[in-house]
Amino acid sequence: MLIGVALCAATLLVDISFVNPKYLFTFGFGCVFIGIGFWISKRYRVIKAPEGIYQWAACEHNKITKTIIAIGLIISSISFILILCSLFKDDVIELFK
């Protein structure tokens, strides 16, 4: 999630010339969606034992978190493909000549 926020902020604050900023922003937006989905699914488990209390974090996904993560993966993967195509556009065109 932090990587997504950093990418979105970087596209708004810094002039990026080697990649289309729209693609980088949508990639960061997809990463934010993935991070929010995992953050929502985080639950804490507690077991009381004679020695004390055991507590740990576990991920429990439901339909909402799975949908949020899937949307984030779709957005990120499409924008990642667009970023790669924009970086290697000239090389791809030469392959088909």
d(CA 20, CA 28): 13
The model's pTM is 0.78
Structure tokens given for 94: 């030469």
Strands (E), the chain: 42-49, 52-59
Checking phi first, is residue 45 left (phi over 0); if not, alpha (psi -120 to 50) or beta? beta
d(CA 53, CA 72): 36
Digit-coded pLDDT (tens) for 43-79 = 888 989 888 899 988 888 999 999 999 999 999 999 9
Handedness of CA 20, 72, 91, 89 (dihedral sign): negative
Domain ranges within the chain, ordered by starting residue:
2-95
